Structure 1
């Protein structure tokens, strides 16, 4: 199979896409292909299989049905391959798979978080059932329908709230001293697949959660909006924790940066190379940074690998997942699907991805540290990181990264890498002092050790107040659940 991606104009709709597509995800790299009739595969082996099905379904004392036997036989055949990406999906499983790719689910439209205080609402989605019913951020969920929420079942709250579309769910919350009982319908909810922010310094930020059917169109529209700004200086693409999606979506995103080149090479069981090409793409003459981590997989690795091979972007973070195989989806007669590994893919320069991943150009550990360092490289000069319970924002932009901090010994301790990133400092462990040396170019090193440094589990935390005294440009305000860290421009 050969695929060519030509850069689309904004007027082109998803209906104009290629009739054959591949999905590339942590659990799938798939192409939808019509399955030939069973007779095309008729053989002595298939005849024997049918005979066994007939005998067992008509003679076995258990009364087992042919459908149940067929499902068991398919599962056994698939399991015998020892391939986690080849699988059989019934109609319901296939629907769930498609929904996960598009980030769709049936619920009320809230994002919840777990803290020592209980399960609280972090975000209420716009135009959702939850918004209409009156749920608000910071409400603490204490009951769902007739089930009281306890520490033992708190992890199951999302399961209690979601359910069949157009059925009602009653959620009881605490809002301060007030107890509210609110009933609302469950409806289809679509989570965003691309989010963006435009930061001071002319830095565009694009967070891609999934390579769904329209994510490339959203990506391109936002990018064109950035390009229309006179002060646009650099771009950050965040692919961390993105498990993949449609190959064509990754291809069209790549066409914003790459002209007339190979996107990936695919290698079949016979060793045949079927390149996937980009035709009529564009370039972006600005610095581009791509954030990846160990959960960036498949389509994320395709995009990151191509931008890295063509030296279009600096890849930063940690080594990616290493999902470099291609699956095809075969539609069966009853609407079920068979997903089969058919190819391995390589980067444009022929680097393998499967079980290897993409090695970043700049290795950075820790989510918040990764984000702050890359934003600084991209041109952001000043930072304000705020934490309200588990909701974290960076320069007003809500992020998925946590702000690792603890309160112990009457002090507030913050992860050493985060503080170093805010100060624009290089971090160096000094074993003889059981502390760290922080180095800012052109300034004397600062050593924090003894009572100013503390191991929390496997990670080094620093006394935030002592750090701020050593680095006047860094400000620390508030407590553990209401925390603000600021950093002025590093000179």
Structure 2
């Protein structure tokens, strides 16, 4: 009997030895996990220093994290990303960069966009060190402090540009005219997630770049008051490039735009343990009754911005113009740790009033319009005469100067009564240009400033810009809707009262002179 037991033990030992000699690569991921769980169970049952209440996996993970600090991030990333395309792990110190919410940050003043394997400058903040140095939209970022950025993502590049206030960063870019290197100072840059203005009589414009920050929401509330005080019947709501933000802020914004009470304007499904809950949001009738809301959207419109788009369009208050949205009908919970790392876990399903689940599909526009790439306006500008010009001058030379300042984005042509006249608007635009170049302001044009303007025109002439066909199309639609009677009244204090709606506002006729966009 003892011999049989010894033989059995020997055979078990041989089996274990043979099994452990098989290379790990011979197992699939599922088999490796099964092996791991079998070993955990074996340790609990037979290991001298273990017990059935022991957690060998926890002990092993703690040891692994101590020996290999990167193992923690790898595990977190693998675990979260295995559920869906939105759940992810954010490394230490990168949360504010990946999910910005503040109205200011320390940086050089550029907005980045992915451009294939490169990162490109999408916009330059006015008055920033990047603009003063001469960095231009369309520049391809080559390196930051000697780190080559080709093949890097936006999340990898952004932290390189940001840092402590007053520190310097060396940035190299490439454009059609060659390569350029700039030493930029990081400074506090104030940003706003919301902007608004009257575009034309009866037409108001609002742009949300992200649904974040209380100040932006308050600006939105005051913008609605400004809209009714100017008796605008049409709103152009620009949500292009808006990645989302706070779901509650988007829902509150919707509530202030919907004129009818008791409308089910959105629903959100969530889960707590085994319990699933669907919360339906009803409108309070807080919005002015507009003739129409025209929403600008593109592939960068996602999440909270898609809540606004689908709700207003499904309920018939809005029409959308642009291209199909990103398609993110899911919301996430964010757990941020003290070191600035975070886990992002998908926990909400966003449900539109009538549009089926659009996650991974996107929201198709009512009017499909593509923007086009065209030569920079500087390419059409004539050379500015390098001579003295002052206020009250009226000449062909002043016309060339005004055209150049407009092409550089320093002068609004619509505000000029006469492009041939050197007026205060011309002087202000000239001094704005001087300010970026560190030159003292003057109320005249001198040869030195004219030469610098011509050089800037030459640098920008080879660039290409996006012609905003989407806004142009929306504006043509808006002009037709604005011709219809106003559907609310407003008193001297800016309080509005909606009129009783007797029938639906008819759609405007198709804009002539343009191709009919696909619905």
TM score, norm. by length of structure 2: 0.51
2:72 maps to which residue? Answer: 70
Question: Structure 1: how far apart are the matches of 2:141 and 2:269?
Answer: 51
Question: Structure 1: how far apart are the matches of 2:148 and 2:336?
Answer: 43
Contact kept in structure 1, 2:257 and 2:287, CA below 8 Å: yes
Unaligned runs of 5+ in 1: 1-43, 58-63, 114-118, 150-155, 174-179, 382-421, 430-491
Unaligned runs of 5+ in 2: 1-51, 114-118, 150-155, 174-179, 373-467, 482-509
Q: Deviations over 1:284-316 (max 9, x none)?
A: 333211111222111111001111122111222
Contact kept in structure 2, 1:251 and 1:278, CA below 8 Å: no
1:307 maps to which residue? Answer: 312
The structure richer in helix per residue is 2
1:195 maps to which residue? Answer: 195
Contact kept in structure 1, 2:335 and 2:343, CA below 8 Å: yes
Q: Deviations over 1:411-436 (max 9, x none)?
A: xxxxxxxxxxx98324389xxxxxxx
Q: Deviations over 1:332-364 (max 9, x none)?
A: 576632211122110134632322332333333
Q: Deviations over 1:100-150 (max 9, x none)?
A: x5575532335699xxxxx9999764554467889999999999989999x
CA pair 45-302 structure 1, distance change in 2 beyond 3 A: farther
Contact kept in structure 2, 1:319 and 1:359, CA below 8 Å: yes
| Equivalent runs, 1:338-357 vs 2, <5 Å | 338-349=343-354, 351-357=356-362
Segment of structure 1 superposing worse, 272-281 or 290-299: 272-281
Contact kept in structure 2, 1:331 and 1:338, CA below 8 Å: yes
| Equivalent runs, 1:384-423 vs 2, <5 Å | none
Contact kept in structure 2, 1:318 and 1:365, CA below 8 Å: yes
The structure richer in strand per residue is 1
- SS of corresponding position for 1:284: coil
Question: Structure 1: how far apart are the matches of 2:282 and 2:169?
Answer: 49
1:53 maps to which residue? Answer: 61
Question: Structure 1: how far apart are the matches of 2:371 and 2:54?
Answer: 53
Question: Structure 1: how far apart are the matches of 2:216 and 2:62?
Answer: 48
| Equivalent runs, 1:289-368 vs 2, <5 Å | 289-332=294-337, 336-349=341-354, 351-366=356-371, 368=468
Q: Deviations over 1:224-256 (max 9, x none)?
A: 353254452311001122111111221121122
Question: Structure 2: how far apart are the matches of 1:213 and 1:425?
Answer: 41
| Equivalent runs, 1:197-276 vs 2, <5 Å | 197-214=197-214, 216-221=216-221, 223-258=223-258, 259-268=261-270, 271-276=276-281
TM score, norm. by length of structure 1: 0.54
- SS of corresponding position for 1:237: strand
2:515 maps to which residue? Answer: 427
- SS of corresponding position for 1:272: strand
2:88 maps to which residue? Answer: 87
Contact kept in structure 2, 1:265 and 1:276, CA below 8 Å: yes
CA pair 232-238 structure 1, distance change in 2 beyond 3 A: same
- SS of corresponding position for 1:245: coil
CA pair 74-217 structure 1, distance change in 2 beyond 3 A: closer
Q: Deviations over 1:241-284 (max 9, x none)?
A: 21111112211211222244444222235553223454463333
Contact kept in structure 1, 2:256 and 2:285, CA below 8 Å: no
Quote how far apart the aligned CAs of 1:201 are.
3.3
Question: Structure 2: how far apart are the matches of 1:287 and 1:104?
Answer: 34
- SS of corresponding position for 1:254: helix
Q: Deviations over 1:167-207 (max 9, x none)?
A: 0247899xxxxxx9986531232433223332233211112
CA pair 47-350 structure 1, distance change in 2 beyond 3 A: farther
CA pair 47-129 structure 1, distance change in 2 beyond 3 A: same
CA pair 183-323 structure 1, distance change in 2 beyond 3 A: closer
Contact kept in structure 2, 1:320 and 1:358, CA below 8 Å: yes
Give the paired residue count.
Answer: 328
CA pair 204-183 structure 1, distance change in 2 beyond 3 A: same
1:378 maps to which residue? Answer: 478
Contact kept in structure 2, 1:320 and 1:357, CA below 8 Å: yes
1:23 maps to which residue? Answer: none
| Structural RMSD (CA) | 4.8
Question: Structure 2: how far apart are the matches of 1:427 and 1:273?
Answer: 42
Contact kept in structure 2, 1:265 and 1:350, CA below 8 Å: no
